[in-house]
Structure formats: C-alpha cells, structure tokens
Amino acid sequence: MKVGIVGAGMVGSAAGFALIQRGIAKDIVFVDIDTARARAEAEDIAHAVPFAAPAIVRHGDYKDIAGAGVVILACGVSQKPGETRLALLERNAAVFRSVVGEVMAHCPDAILLVASNPVDIMGQVTQALSGLPPGRVIGSGTILDTARFRWLLGRHLGISPGSVHAYVLGEHGDSEVLAWSNARAGSVSLAHFAAQVGAALTSDVRARIDDGVRNAAYTIIEGKGATWYGIGGGLARICAAIAGDEQAVLSVSTVEAEVLGVADVALSLPRLVGRQGVTATLWPELDAAETEALAASAAILKGRIGEISI
C-alpha cells in the first residue's frame, strides 16, 4: 500500500518508521512545507529499509501522493508544555483549511487518517472540509490512550498487554473515559482475574492507572517536549488494518450522527476498521457512571466544534 504523510515532524516520521519496520507500506511519500525536513526524514527512514521489508521512502509535493490508499495528516503546530489539546484548535484548523484541499485535489480516493491535535475536532474539521463520508476520515482518537490503559493493566496484573481487552472512549484528552466495567483479561473480568493472580484492583491502583493514562501525554511533553513513538505505532496499526482489510476492532474517532443525545460529534468508540475505513461502530456496555462521563465528553467536544467556522 502507498501511504502519504503530510507533516514530517516527529509524529509523521515516527509513523513512517513504524510502517517500514512492520512492512505495512511499500511506498511512503512525505510532504511538508519544510522540504529540507521532509527530505531528511525520508532519507533517514529509507536507510532502515535494508533491515526491514523492501519499500520506497521519499519526499515530494502533493502531486506525489496520488494513488495513496491512506494519507496521514500529521501537520500543524505542536502542543506546548502546559497547553491542552483543545487549546490547539484554532491554530491547527487554519493549517487544515489549506492542506485538506490539496490532498483531495490529488488523492480523492484515499482514506484520511488524522493525527494532529485536538484530534477529534480536527477529524471533524477534516471530514467537513473534504466532503468524504465519515468512515473515510479517521482520527487516531484514543488508540494510544487504549494502549496505555492496556499496558498499565498488563503491568499490574503481570500479563502481556495483548491479553488485556480494555478501551478508552470519548475524547482523546481530559474528558476521556476509561471503560473499567467491561474490561477483560483474556475472557475473565478484570476483578476476577486480579483476584486469581493476587493483584487486587484497589481504589488506589485504579486511581494510579487512571492518572497514568489520562496524564501520560503531559508527563512526556514536560520531559521531552512532545510524544511521537506511541502514536506513531498507533497510526501504523490503523494503516495495517486498512491495508489488510482486517475489520479490526480499534478505538478510533469518526463523526457519529448521535452519541447519547449529542448530535453530529466526533469521538472514539470501538469501531471496525478495514479497507473501506470505518465500517461499523460497536456500542460498548457501560455502567451508569461511565455512560454519564461519555455523554459529558461528547458534549464538551460538540461545544468546541461549534466555536469555529469550518
């Protein structure tokens, strides 16, 4: 599969590197207003190709992404230390107004994969600007938050994160909802599994894991300025599901007609992802508190998208 990556910063380059290492993309084209940066990232990643699967990695202009199955939008300004994702809205919306038009002019059949923050809102902005069906504009959403949740649970329980089935829903941001009530380790509820292995999920443990998921980005940004490896891996995972037509269940963000009384809002829910993009939404069974929190998250996002002119 050919993949275009608009934005050759740390997130875009980490995604490109992950795509090469996993052998997902056979042709990657970086596009960036800073052409020297795009060329440098493309060549650096290309030098890793002999250690991975055969592929072409290059830089170019928008015309060079023609024929891509997926275009990753990792452009825009970075999140500053202490800045919330939602505070990025106006700055990144201005960037996307020009970028999306160029992408659609040269690659109208691609699935657009949005990585720029605030990702739920930028995904909704992209869908409106592109005119594509909601399922063909995918925000990375809470795929990284879900990975953090599973990693922390796996570490506490002493098992592989791959054996943990748990999701983070709603906004990729402060109002996100950790769905504890339906989480599983293998086929066993978390509480039962924890009891069997002597790793009780006390209120303190749950609070520590919640904090670790919810504030991970702020901790990383404070330490090194930005996050990129985790989301790069997440973007590669979404691309793999599309390339392989997996119909994989992933917590990604798309525009939903209605979420718990909130109309026309983009947020993350478990969704089927394959060659056509998102083909179905799977509504999770949540307890009353989680349902209320998800409704609140949807309302927050709806309020923010209403503040800008698309």
Q: Please report, for residues 150, 162, 173, 179, 308, the alpha-carbon distance to residue 158 in angstroms, rounded to integers and kept in the order given.
A: 12, 12, 27, 20, 45
- Using 50, 70 and 90 to split pLDDT, how confident is the model at 259? very high
Taking residue 229's Cβ as centre, other Cβ atoms within 10 Å add up to 14
Decide if 172 is catalytic: yes
**pTM of the predicted model as reported, rounded to 2 decimal places:** 0.95
pLDDT computed for residue 128 by the predictor: 96
Radius of gyration for the chain, computed over Cα atoms and rounded to the nearest angstrom? 19
Of the candidate ranges 96-105, 229-238, 269-278, 301-310, the one whose mean pLDDT is the lowest: 301-310
pLDDT in tens, 156-165: 999 999 999 9
Q: Which residues have C-beta within 8 Å of that of residue 249, sequence separation ≥ 6? A: 270, 271, 272, 273, 282
pLDDT (mean) for 9-38: 97
pLDDT computed for residue 140 by the predictor: 98
pLDDT computed for residue 307 by the predictor: 79
pLDDT computed for residue 123 by the predictor: 97
Q: Which residues have C-beta within 8 Å of that of residue 155, sequence separation ≥ 6? A: 161
Out of 59, 106, 156, 172, pick the active-site residue: 172
Helices marked H in 107-118 — which ranges?
Answer: none
pLDDT computed for residue 78 by the predictor: 67
Has residue 142 got a pLDDT over 70? yes
CA 108 to chain centre: 21
Has residue 141 got a pLDDT over 80? yes
